[in-house]
Amino acid sequence: MGSTFFRKLPTPMEIKTMYPVPEKVENKKKENDAEIRKLFTGESDKFAVIIGPCSADNPEAVEDYVGRLAKVQEKIKDKLLIIPRVYTNKPRTTGKGYKGMLHQPDPEKKTDLLQGLITIRQTFLKIMEDTGFPLADEMLYPENARYFSDCLSYIAIGARSVEDQQHRLTASGMDIPVGMKNPTSGDLSIMLNSIEAAQSSHSFLYRGWDVQTDGNDLAHAILRGAVNQYGSCIPNYHYEDMVNLYDMYMKKGFANPALIIDCNHSNSNKQYMEQIRIAKEIMHNRKHSDDLRGFVKGLMIESYIVGGNQPVDGHCYGKSITDPCLGWEDTEALLYTIAEQV
């Protein structure tokens, strides 16, 4: 019973020293971060699409997938800013099951957190070097954020984490966009409180340090749908939902008002093909209001090489072992459609 302290892991600085970001990649990340900042502040009218697998379970397949995104990005770079989802932690409602690359760099083998840290860092660096893309991940564990802070250009905080104080305070010390999802209950006031906390300065204990933060002016909202008391999904991507949140945002007076809409999860009732219809509806509705056109900054889409999902011990290359995702052909067509409607 109790806890066993198995081994002491390297510090974030030690891991960064072992697997450093090359100077060329570092410079490209600075360019990407500046471009993303302009999108969220309204200086750029590009539209963000944060897209990729539910969970980055296989480095080779993820690198292949992102390489395909790079070819599409080149054709629509004047309209869209694609930010690949390379999600390395998988939230589990019950705590059971595959928890992502951090825990199991090989999904069919036992937990190995040290190898997980190394595999994630190697995967991030290879994608950045090969494609020049900015990368997005979910901050499931705030104490791990420093291991990858020099690689990531976008962070999401999930529906089950958005009420947690440590997530909010850690986000307040970041200088990249951090998207706060509405909680599974759908209570928008909780999400807005989280944004307010992240945009404010704080002093708190973090990894054994007394840390002071400046506040993150790029903290923003993500609508992902909700679940009612009977377990039924309630979408919140419709026109009325966007207008309502915009009004709430304006009353709060937050810096850089911004909304990303998650096309999957409770918005799609996890019917992954519905993401296509939902994305098109959002783009259509966004056009009908100058306020919404400036407020809705992007979409979040779950996509991989092969559509659907499979068991953890399945061996279909490029198919999700967690939530089902759009396949590549549907993804490519949807990206071009979104670009046409920006």
- Strand partners of residue 226: 234
Residues in CB range of 206: below 8 A, 6 or more apart: 142, 143, 169, 170, 173
Q: Which two tokens stand for residue 154?
A: 């976008």
Instruction: Measure the CA–CA gap between 273 and 182, rounded to whole angstroms.
Output: 22
Q: What pLDDT is recorded for position 1?
A: 63
- What residue ranges define each of the domains in the chain, with the CATH number in brackets? 12-341 (3.20.20.70)
Instruction: Measure the CA–CA gap between 197 and 182, rounded to whole angstroms.
Output: 14
Question: Do residues 158 and 167 make contact, with C-beta atoms less than 8 angstroms apart?
Answer: no
Q: Fill in the DSSP letter of residue 105.
A: S
Q: Where would I find the beta strands (DSSP E) of 131-214?
A: 136-138, 154-157, 178-181, 203-206, 209-212
Q: What pLDDT is recorded for position 97?
A: 85
Instruction: Measure the CA–CA gap between 213 and 169, rounded to whole angstroms.
Output: 8
Global pTM?
0.97
Q: Fill in the DSSP letter of residue 338.
A: H
Q: Tell me how far the alpha carbon of residue 100 is from its chain's centroid.
A: 14
**How many residues are there in the chain?**
342
3-class DSSP state of 192: helix
Question: Do residues 234 and 183 make contact, with C-beta atoms less than 8 angstroms apart?
Answer: no
Q: What pLDDT is recorded for position 322?
A: 95
Question: Do residues 295 and 258 make contact, with C-beta atoms less than 8 angstroms apart?
Answer: yes
Instruction: Measure the CA–CA gap between 253 and 150, rounded to whole angstroms.
Output: 30
Give pLDDT tens digits along the chain (342 positions).
Answer: 688 888 999 999 999 999 999 999 999 999 999 999 999 999 999 999 999 999 999 999 999 999 999 999 999 999 999 999 999 998 877 778 899 999 999 999 999 999 999 999 999 999 999 999 999 999 999 999 999 999 999 999 999 999 999 999 999 999 999 999 999 999 999 999 999 999 999 999 999 999 999 999 999 999 999 999 999 999 999 999 999 999 999 999 999 999 999 999 999 999 999 999 999 999 999 998 999 999 999 999 999 999 999 999 999 999 999 999 999 999 999 999 999 999
Residues in CB range of 251: below 8 A, 6 or more apart: none
Return the closest-CA partner of residue 206 out of 231, 174, 235, 170.
170
Q: Which helix (H) or strand (E) holds 248?
A: helix 239-252
SS3 assignment for 263-288: CCHHHCCCCCCHHHHHHHHHHHHHCC
Q: Which two tokens stand for residue 166?
A: 């440590």
Instruction: Measure the CA–CA gap between 53 and 156, rounded to whole angstroms.
Output: 14
